[in-house]
Amino acid sequence: LNALDQSGCQKALASLGVKEASERYADEQLRLCLVLLLAWGVSRISHINDQPVKAWGVVLDAARRPDADTLDQCLNRLIELDESDGPSSVTERLGQIRPGGRIDTALQESLRCWAEAGLMEGEVWYFDDHVVEYTGQAGLSKTKHGTKNISVKAVNRYTLSNGLCSLSEYFPLSVSYAQALRHLVSKANRCLPPAYCVRKLSFDRAGWDAALLTWLQEEQAIMPITWVKRTSTNIKLLAQVPDDAFVDLDQEALLGKEGQHHVLRLADTTLSFPSLGTQRVVVLETQARKRIGIYSTALHPREASLHDQRVITTTGLVDAMRFKQRIENGFKVEVNEMDSDAIPTHRTY
């Protein structure tokens, strides 16, 4: 409970008030109950009925814990209040939360409070997406998910994270990777204090897009760190890096999902891209002689002092892509341990 207080949990969720003062449980008690359900790995609200009645009451400073029906009514009322003064319906927004609404405000306040509580792990933020099945009634896209024969409705969950700080939203599949990245990065930087804003961002090659990379660099003052997409032009550029530019690693490094790339040597160089100009690229060469590029606009240590926030070492760039796997591991934990790979509801918010 002390840790929750230090993270500003109740302050961040203050916009989620739905209960009247005369009712049995205050908003603070219901919000704490929902947070503790997640912390203790109870992945379905209905499963709170399996928890001790009086023991939970002690933690909540109440005679007993609430039942699942009480929590369900609380959440339904929150959705009603969030939608009551919205200019567009949830159907028109394809199931997305209302911009500037109660839920959206709580998301942003949570991110700000977590950052101010010191829950970030470093300067590099990570962005990734995960397809989630959806069985509701909204007019969402369909995708083949988990089988070659069955097409199911699905939504994409996009997450921007740094350590324990994260901002996630669900989007219909009609929203592109670049659109979602722009949306979440802009939202995060609007709500975060300047000292915690996104300035270095690591993401997958799905974000390899000249317009997106230029937007990050020139309009947002963000240093992108991403894989060089394996187009025919880029493959030729990587192949043209001379052998004497490479240095051998003391021991092979494993990169990619489940360590499928065994890297033996690397070169920190520059390449001239048709739409991006000359940019810094760390070229990794694997045991199979395959070359993989890490693109970034960060300065090399020889160009400025290590105290300069624009500088990232060669090792720092490699680690930024290696550690991106953490966000994917988080998705796997939720899927395999919390059964969160489906949204079995009639409406999604």
Q: What is the pLDDT of residue 265?
A: 94
Which of 296, 300, 138, 298 is CA-nearest to residue 208? Answer: 296
Is residue 285 classed as helix, strand or coil in its secondary structure?
strand
CA dist 184 and 171 (Å) reads: 11
Residue 349 pLDDT? 36
Which H helix or E strand runs over 84? helix 68-84
Cα(142)–Cα(155) distance, integer angstroms = 8
> Using an 8 Å Cβ cutoff, are 185 and 198 in contact?
yes
The angle subtended at Cα 42 by Cα 41 and Cα 43, nearest 5°, is: 100
210: amino acid identity, one letter: A
Q: For position 186, what pLDDT does the model report? A: 96
Give the pLDDT confidence score for residue 25 in this predicted structure: 87
CB 37 within 8 A of CB 48: yes
Please list the ranges in the chain whose pLDDT falls under 50.
Answer: 22, 144-146, 148, 344-349
If we measure between CA atoms, which residue out of 217, 157, 165 comes closest to residue 193? Answer: 165
| DSSP three-state, residue 262 | strand
Distance CA 342, CA 130 (A): 11
Q: Model pTM?
A: 0.84
Residue 250, CA distances (Å) to 58, 67, 253, 263, 265 in order: 56, 58, 9, 11, 9
- 92-98: Cβ within 8 A, 24+ apart: 94/138, 94/139, 94/140, 94/172, 94/174, 95/134, 95/136, 95/138, 95/140, 95/155, 95/170, 95/172, 95/347, 95/348, 95/349, 96/169, 96/170, 96/171, 96/172, 97/169, 97/349
| Residue 196 per-residue DSSP state | G
Cβ neighbours for 167, distance < 8 A, ≥ 6 positions apart: 107, 108, 111, 159, 160, 161, 184, 187, 188
Task: Return the amino acid letter for 68.
Answer: A
Residue entry with tokens 């490479």: 246
Task: Tokens for 211, please give them.
Answer: 């317009």
Closest-CA residue to 206 (of 229, 182, 189)? 229
| Residue 142: per-residue pLDDT | 55
Q: For the residues of 124-168, what is the DSSP string, one character each?
A: EEEEEEEEEEE-SSS---EEE-S-SS-EEEEEEEEEEEETTEEEE
Q: Which of 339, 329, 296 is nearest to 315 (CA)?
A: 296
| Cα radius of gyration rounded to whole Å, the chain | 23
Q: Each residue of 81-120: pLDDT tens digit? A: 888 776 777 666 666 778 888 889 999 999 999 999 888 8
First to last CA, the chain: 28
Distance between CA atoms of residues 347 and 258, nearest Å: 35
Q: How far apart are CA 219 and CA 197, in angstroms?
A: 14
User: Which residue in 87, 173, 89, 79 sits closest to 134, CA to CA?
Assistant: 173
How far is residue 134's CA from residue 87's CA, in Å, rounded to a whole number? Answer: 25
pLDDT value, residue 57: 86
